[in-house]
């Protein structure tokens, strides 16, 4: 435990025991996060509730969070909504954001997009990073508001500048796609990197591709593998497929078909069509696994069911090849029978000739 956190807990405790509502709320938060003290949800709730009973708005919001997650208390969306509302009406930004989230999902309150937008907008106006992200999402997608990519970019940027990784990743996508701004691959790579360093899985996966292809950054297969692996270890199917591709091609890692198959299979098991396609190709060619055209077709069919035209083409070619093989087998069988017939006729002719010779007078 950080020494500063331990000291903070002691100071909060001294004030909390004297009835200071802010200290009680903060001490509850320290117990809830396990900072400077062993995490203890029940102890956290006790101090937060003491603070809430004194009318502390932040403690109300923290009670809402406790009920939402069922930490130290029985989970209840309705109780979460009640406490978030009390705090939201006192302009606690993250309570407003959470109340908006509840309205958006219909948890603890009737689903209401208008109310969701109202509370998310209030939280965004108070610079809550999650609310800024959600508001940007709505303007990007035209959900409950007129679609406006420039406004979406503005809100993404504001949240990203608060070092909020999901917003940094979303902002990178906007620059990469040229939505609301002129396409700028270098700017996209910059924001992907910021988010990736914080563990944002999509940013890691996309950044890996940027390094692989040299888009906005200098091509670097080792860096590509590094970021693909980080995302793949978080179970991102695209990163798993792309890591398999790097092993199959021997880029950034020693070439290893068996390792490629392992990562393709992970992606395929998550129903990624491209992973299914690539795994099917490995089965078809017997690379890194046994040659198995039946399993190859099975993978291709799964990919085709998701709309993969390449998989459909593979299936058609395999079926055509099998049809031609069957035709060839029939022709060979017919030829074999004909050949046997000719041999029999030839044998009969020889026997007849011999018999005729023996029948001639001496």
Higher pLDDT, 341 or 136: 136
* Vertex 109: Cα angle to 122 and 56 (nearest 5): 55
* pLDDT tens-digit series, residues 122-163: 999 999 999 999 999 999 999 999 999 999 999 999 999 999
| Per-residue pLDDT, 2 | 75
pLDDT at 355 over 80: no
Residue 329 pLDDT class (50, 70, 90 cuts): low
* Cβ contacts of 198 within 8 Å, gap of 6 or more: 163, 165, 168
Q: How far is CA 236 from the centre of its chain?
A: 4
User: Contact 33/43 with Cβ under 8 angstroms?
Assistant: no
| Per-residue pLDDT, 317 | 83
Higher pLDDT, 323 or 235: 235
| Per-residue pLDDT, 123 | 97
| Per-residue pLDDT, 358 | 56
- pTM confidence score: 0.82
| Per-residue pLDDT, 362 | 47
């Amino acid at each position: 435990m950080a020494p500063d956190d331990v000291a903070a807990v002691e100071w909060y405790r001294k004030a909390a025991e004297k009835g200071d509502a802010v200290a009680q709320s903060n001490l509850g938060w320290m117990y809830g996060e396990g900072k400077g003290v062993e995490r203890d949800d029940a102890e956290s709730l006790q101090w937060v509730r003491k603070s809430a009973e004194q009318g502390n708005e932040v403690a109300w919001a923290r009670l809402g969070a406790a009920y939402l997650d069922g930490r130290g208390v029985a989970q209840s969306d309705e109780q979460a909504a009640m406490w978030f509302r009390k705090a939201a009406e006192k302009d606690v930004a993250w309570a407003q954001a959470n109340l908006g989230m509840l309205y958006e999902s219909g948890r603890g309150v009737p689903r209401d997009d208008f109310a969701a937008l109202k509370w998310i907008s209030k939280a965004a106006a108070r610079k809550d990073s999650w609310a800024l992200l959600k508001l940007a999402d709505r303007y990007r997608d035209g959900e409950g508001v007129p679609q406006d990519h420039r406004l979406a970019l503005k809100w993404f940027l504001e949240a990203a500048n608060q070092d909020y990784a999901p917003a940094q990743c979303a902002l990178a996508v906007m620059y990469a796609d040229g939505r609301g701004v002129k396409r700028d691959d270098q700017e996209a790579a910059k924001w992907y990197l910021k988010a990736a360093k914080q563990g944002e899985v999509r940013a890691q996966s996309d950044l890996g591709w940027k390094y692989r292809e040299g888009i906005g950054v200098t091509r670097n297969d080792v860096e590509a593998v590094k970021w693909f692996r980080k995302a793949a270890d978080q179970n991102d199917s695209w990163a798993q497929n792309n890591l398999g591709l790097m092993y199959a091609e021997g880029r950034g890692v020693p070439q290893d078909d068996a390792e490629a198959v392992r990562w393709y299979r992970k992606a395929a098991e998550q129903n990624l069509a491209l992973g299914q396609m690539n795994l099917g190709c490995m089965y078809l060619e017997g690379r890194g696994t046994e040659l198995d055209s039946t399993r190859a077709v099975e993978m291709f069919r799964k990919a085709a069911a998701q709309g993969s035209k390449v998989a459909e083409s593979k299936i058609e070619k395999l079926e055509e090849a099998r049809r031609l093989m069957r035709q060839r087998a029939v022709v060979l069988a017919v030829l074999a029978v004909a050949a046997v017939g000719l041999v029999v006729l030839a044998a009969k002719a020889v026997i007849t000739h011999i018999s005729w010779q023996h029948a001639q007078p001496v």
